[in-house]
C-alpha cells in the first residue's frame, strides 16, 4: 500500500510541475528560446525541449551557435506540427488526426522525439485502409520507419484489388507502379485487374505516361487474362489500337492461349488462394518424416491441385490442449473449440470451453477468442459470423446431464447470450449452416420410458434453427438414428455419411456401423438415399465430422472403418461427384494424424502454410 501511495504521490507531483510550466509558457514567463516554423513563432523553454528531444539537448549543450541565440528556425516542418508537439511536451496530450499525423511524425523524426514518432506510427497502422496505404508506405520509406513501411507494404499487397480501385494509386510514379505489378505477392485473383489498373494509370496522364505503356504491359501476365477480356479491352482502348507494339503483344498472348491448355507463367499470390480440406487436431501421432517433426502441424489437402501442406495446430502457444469441435464463419474465420492445455488448466479456477481463432500473422497462428461454461460432446455452428454452442453434456453435482441449452457468441461485440433451446436435449449431434439457418441432426438424447435400459437413445431427428425468429422447427427425420457420422453441405443439400446407428427410432435395437448416405433437400423437406460409401465409416471424434465440400464435390478424409464398431483407421480421401453418383479414392495414404479431431473447409493460400517434406510428397 505504501509503495502504491508513493507512486501516486510522485505522479501527482509530476502533473503539477508540468501544469505550472505550461502556465508559464502561456504567460510568456522565463522564456529563453523561440522556435520559428513557417514564419510562426513559438516561445518555450530550453529545459523542456532538451528533456524531450536529444536533438535540442545537443543543440543547447554542445557549444553550437544556437546555444546563445534566442531563436531557432526549423525547416521542412509545418507550424501546425510544431504546435502539436509543443502541446504534447507541456501537457502530455498529443492531438493527431489523419490530416496532421504525417506532419507530426516528420517533425518528431527530425527532432528525435521517439515516443511521439512511435505514437504516430501506431496511429497510421491502426487507421490504415485501402485508400491511404500507398501514401503511408512511401511516407514510411522516406523517413526510414522500417516497421511501418513493412506493415504498409503487407497491407498494400494483401488488399491490392481494393487499392487499385482508389484514386491514390493513379498519382504514383512510373517506377513505383512497375515495382508493384512486377511482384508475385499481390493478392489478386484475376490478372484482368492488373491490366485494367495499368490502362487507368496511363490514361490518367496520357500525354506524359504513354511512353511507359509497353514497359508496363510487359509486367502484365497477359496469358493469364481471359481471351474475351483481352479482345474487348483492346477494342475499347484507342491507346492500344494506335500502338502496333501493343497490338502485337495482345495477338501473341491470344495465340499462345489458344495453343496451350496449361499456362506456365508464375501465378500471383491471390491466384493461389484455394479451398483446402483442413484435418485439424492436436494428436501428434501418425506423421513420420525424416526431415523433421510434424507433431504440431495438421494435414491440409487441396482438391483442385491434389497438393498437400500443413497448418500449425492450436497446440502451439498452448492455446488449446484438446480440440473438440470447429466451424468456418462467413468471413472465412477458422474457429476451434476445446479445452485449455494442461498448463493453462492448472492456472484456471474453473474449467471452461475454450474457443480460438486462426490467423496467419507471426509465429503463433492461433489466438484465444473467448470461453464459455464448460460442457462436452456439443456442436459448434455459425450464422452471420456469430458462433453457436449447441447442446452437449454438462456435469452437475457429480452427474452428467445432456442439455438442450444453446448459447450465441457475437465476435463483433465479444458477448454471449442464450437463445431458444433445442426441442430436445442432445449430445454427439452434428450441425451445418445452409441459407443462413442451422440444421442439427442425430446424436444422443436421454430416455426415461425404460429405466432398466441405457440412459440415452440415438436420435434420428432433424432440427432447423432460424436466427431471425429465434425459433427451432422439427423437420423430416432421418432413416437412421445415429451418431459418429460425418455431414457436409453440397450444392444446397445436406449429406449425412456413415456413423453408428439403427433403422428408425432407437428403441434399444442393435446398432451397426453404417455405409449409408442420406441426402436432405431443404426445398421439399425430405430425405433420399445417396450412393453407399465403399466401406462402413465412422468419424474420428464422437461429435465432429470428417467430411467437407469443395467446388460441388464431397470429400471424406479418413475415419474408422470396419463392420464392427471402430477398429482400423483409414487414411484414404474419398471423393463423390453428385452428378456421377460414384465414389472415387483420390488419396490412398494421406499424411494426416492418426486421430485428428475435425475436418473443415476454408480458403487459404498454401504459401502461408507449412510445405510438406519431400519424403511425404514422394509417398
CATH number at residue 81: 3.30.710.10
- Please list the residues that pair with 278 across neighbouring strands: 300, 600
Looking at the structure, do residues 336 and 380 belong to the same domain, yes or no? yes
CA distance 116 to 55: 14
- What is the domain count for the chain? 3
Residue 164 lies in a domain: no
CA distance 155 to 144: 18
Looking at the structure, do residues 241 and 257 belong to the same domain, yes or no? yes
Looking at the structure, do residues 265 and 277 belong to the same domain, yes or no? no
Tell me what pLDDT residue 599 has.
Answer: 94
Provide CB contacts within 8 A for 503, sequence distance 6+: 479, 480, 481, 509
Report the length, in residues, of the chain.
619
Provide CB contacts within 8 A for 98, sequence distance 6+: 127, 132
Closest to 357 (Cα-Cα) out of 314, 321, 389: 314
Tell me what pLDDT residue 598 has.
Answer: 92
Residue 52 lies in a domain: yes
Q: Which residues of the chain fall short of a pLDDT of 70?
A: 1-3, 14, 64-66, 261-264, 284, 286, 289-293, 317, 360-364, 448-455, 562-567, 615, 617-619
Residue 93 lies in a domain: yes
Strand 430-434 relative to strand 437-441, pairing: antiparallel
Residue 152 lies in a domain: no
Q: What's the domain range around 319?
A: 273-618
**Domain C-terminal end among 244, 270, 296:** 270
Looking at the structure, do residues 486 and 439 belong to the same domain, yes or no? yes
CA distance 561 to 541: 13
Looking at the structure, do residues 11 and 72 belong to the same domain, yes or no? yes
Strand 33-37 relative to strand 322-328, pairing: unpaired
Task: Find the helix or strand (DSSP H, E) in which 301 lies.
Answer: strand 297-302
Tell me what pLDDT residue 619 has.
Answer: 57
CA dihedral 180, 181, 187, 193 (to 10 degrees): 130
Answer yes or no: are the C-beta atoms of 339 and 322 closer than 8 Å: yes
Provide CB contacts within 8 A for 170, sequence distance 6+: 200, 201, 204
CA distance 76 to 69: 20
Residue 160 lies in a domain: no
Task: Find the helix or strand (DSSP H, E) in which 427 lies.
Answer: none
Looking at the structure, do residues 292 and 259 belong to the same domain, yes or no? no
Strand 274-280 relative to strand 71-73, pairing: unpaired
CA distance 459 to 477: 9
Answer yes or no: are the C-beta atoms of 195 and 222 closer than 8 Å: yes
CB atoms within 10 A of CB 40: 12
Looking at the structure, do residues 244 and 344 belong to the same domain, yes or no? no
Looking at the structure, do residues 291 and 265 belong to the same domain, yes or no? no
Task: Give the three cell numbers for residue 317.
Answer: 502457444
Q: What's the first-to-final CA gap in the chain, in angstroms?
A: 66
Tell me what pLDDT residue 120 has.
Answer: 95
Looking at the structure, do residues 277 and 201 belong to the same domain, yes or no? no
Strand 297-302 relative to strand 307-312, pairing: antiparallel
Q: What does the buried/exposed string (b/e) look like for 282-302 if buried means 16 or more CB atoms within 10 Å of the residue's CB?
A: bbeebbeeeeeebeebbbbbb
Tell me what pLDDT residue 610 has.
Answer: 86
CB atoms within 10 A of CB 356: 23
Tell me what pLDDT residue 69 has.
Answer: 80
CATH number of the structural domain spanning residue 250: 1.25.40.420
Distances (CA, A) of 278 to 496, 597, 599: 19, 10, 5
Looking at the structure, do residues 332 and 420 belong to the same domain, yes or no? yes
Provide CB contacts within 8 A for 176, sequence distance 6+: 138
Residue 383 lies in a domain: yes
CATH number of the structural domain spanning residue 525: 2.120.10.80
CA distance 366 to 337: 12
**What SS3 state is found at 81?**
helix
Looking at the structure, do residues 288 and 253 belong to the same domain, yes or no? no
Task: Give the three cell numbers for residue 98.
Answer: 489523419
CB atoms within 10 A of CB 553: 18
* Residue 285: DSSP 8-state: -
Looking at the structure, do residues 243 and 333 belong to the same domain, yes or no? no
* Residue 420: DSSP 8-state: P
CA distance 466 to 383: 10
Closest to 546 (Cα-Cα) out of 513, 579, 569, 525: 569
Region class of 552: left (phi > 0), else alpha (psi between -120 and 50), else beta = left
Answer yes or no: are the C-beta atoms of 597 and 283 closer than 8 Å: yes
Residue 136 lies in a domain: no
pTM of the model: 0.80
Distance of CA 396 to the CA centre of its chain: 37
Answer yes or no: are the C-beta atoms of 339 and 345 closer than 8 Å: yes
Residue 538 lies in a domain: yes
CA distance 570 to 589: 8
Tell me what pLDDT residue 264 has.
Answer: 67
**What SS3 state is found at 354?**
strand
348 φ, ψ to 5°?
-95, 145
Sheet holding 462-466, edge to edge: 430-434, 437-441, 462-466, 471-475
Amino acid at each position: 500500500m505504501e509503495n502504491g501511495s508513493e507512486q501516486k504521490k510522485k505522479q501527482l507531483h509530476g502533473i503539477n510541475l508540468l501544469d505550472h510550466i505550461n502556465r508559464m509558457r502561456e504567460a510568456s514567463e522565463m522564456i529563453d528560446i523561440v522556435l520559428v516554423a513557417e514564419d510562426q513563432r513559438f516561445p518555450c523553454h530550453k529545459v523542456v525541449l532538451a528533456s524531450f528531444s536529444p536533438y535540442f539537448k545537443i543543440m543547447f549543450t554542445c557549444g553550437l551557435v544556437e546555444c546563445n541565440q534566442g531563436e531557432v528556425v526549423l525547416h521542412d516542418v509545418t507550424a501546425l506540427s510544431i504546435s502539436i508537439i509543443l502541446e504534447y511536451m507541456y501537457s502530455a496530450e498529443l492531438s493527431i488526426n489523419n490530416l496532421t499525423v504525417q506532419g507530426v511524425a516528420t517533425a518528431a523524426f527530425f527532432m528525435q522525439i521517439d515516443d511521439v514518432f512511435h505514437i504516430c506510427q501506431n496511429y497510421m497502422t491502426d487507421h490504415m485502409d485501402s485508400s491511404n496505404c500507398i501514401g503511408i508506405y512511401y511516407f514510411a520509406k522516406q523517413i526510414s520507419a522500417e516497421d511501418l513501411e513493412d506493415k504498409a507494404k503487407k497491407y498494400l499487397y494483401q488488399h491490392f484489388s481494393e487499392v487499385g480501385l482508389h484514386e491514390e494509386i493513379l498519382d504514383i510514379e512510373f517506377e513505383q507502379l512497375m515495382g508493384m505489378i512486377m511482384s508475385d505477392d499481390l493478392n489478386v485473383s484475376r490478372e484482368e485487374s492488373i491490366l485494367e489498373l495499368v490502362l487507368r494509370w496511363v490514361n490518367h496522364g496520357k500525354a506524359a505516361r504513354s511512353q511507359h505503356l509497353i514497359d508496363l504491359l510487359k509486367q502484365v501476365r497477359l496469358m493469364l487474362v481471359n481471351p474475351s477480356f483481352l479482345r474487348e479491352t483492346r477494342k475499347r482502348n484507342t491507346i492500344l489500337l494506335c500502338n502496333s507494339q501493343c497490338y502485337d503483344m495482345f495477338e501473341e498472348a491470344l495465340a499462345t492461349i489458344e495453343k496451350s491448355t496449361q499456362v506456365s507463367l508464375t501465378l500471383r499470390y491471390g491466384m493461389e488462394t484455394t479451398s483446402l480440406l483442413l484435418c485439424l487436431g492436436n494428436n501428434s501421432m501418425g506423421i513420420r518424416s525424416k526431415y523433421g517433426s510434424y507433431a504440431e502441424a495438421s494435414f491440409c489437402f487441396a482438391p483442385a491441385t491434389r497438393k498437400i501442406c500443413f497448418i500449425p495446430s492450436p497446440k502451439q502457444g498452448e492455446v488449446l490442449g484438446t480440440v473438440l469441435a470447429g466451424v468456418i464463419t462467413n468471413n472465412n474465420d477458422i474457429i476451434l473449440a476445446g479445452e485449455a492445455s494442461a498448463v493453462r488448466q492448472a492456472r484456471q479456477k474453473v474449467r471452461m470451453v475454450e474457443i480460438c481463432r486462426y490467423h496467419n500473422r507471426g509465429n503463433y497462428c492461433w489466438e484465444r477468442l473467448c470461453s464459455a461454461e464448460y460442457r462436452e460432446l456439443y456442436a459448434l455452428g455459425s450464422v452471420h459470423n456469430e458462433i453457436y454452442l449447441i447442446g452437449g453434456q454438462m456435469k452437475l453435482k457429480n452427474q452428467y446431464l445432456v442439455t438442450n441449452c444453446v448459447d450465441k457468441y457475437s465476435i463483433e461485440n465479444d458477448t454471449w447470450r442464450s437463445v431458444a433451446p433445442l426441442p430436445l436435449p442432445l449430445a454427439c449431434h452434428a450441425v451445418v449452416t445452409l441459407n443462413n439457418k442451422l440444421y442439427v441432426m442425430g446424436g444422443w438424447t436421454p430416455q426415461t420410458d425404460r429405466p432398466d435400459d441405457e440412459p440415452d437413445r440415438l436420435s434420428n431427428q432433424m432440427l432447423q434453427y432460424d436466427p431471425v425468429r429465434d425459433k427451432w422447427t422439427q423437420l423430416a427425420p432421418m432413416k437412421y438414428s445415429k451418431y459418429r457420422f460425418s455431414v457436409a453441405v453440397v450444392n444446397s443439400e445436406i449429406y449425412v455419411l456413415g456413423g453408428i446407428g439403427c433403422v428408425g427410432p432407437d428403441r434399444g435395437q442393435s446398432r451397426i456401423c453404417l455405409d449409408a448416405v442420406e441426402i436432405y433437400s431443404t426445398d421439399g423437406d425430405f430425405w433420399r438415399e445417396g450412393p453407399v460409401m465403399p466401406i462402413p465409416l465412422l468419424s474420428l471424434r464422437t461429435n465432429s465430422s470428417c467430411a467437407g465440400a469443395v467446388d460441388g464435390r464431397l470429400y471424406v478424409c479418413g475415419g474408422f472403418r470396419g463392420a464392427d464398431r471402430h477398429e482400423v483407421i483409414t487414411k484414404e480421401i474419398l471423393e463423390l461427384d453428385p452428378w456421377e453418383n460414384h465414389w472415387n479414392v483420390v488419396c490412398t495414404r494421406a499424411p494426416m494424424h492418426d486421430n485428428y479431431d475435425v475436418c473443415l473447409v476454408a480458403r487459404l493460400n498454401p504459401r502461408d502454410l507449412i510445405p510438406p517434406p519431400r519424403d511425404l510428397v514422394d509417398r
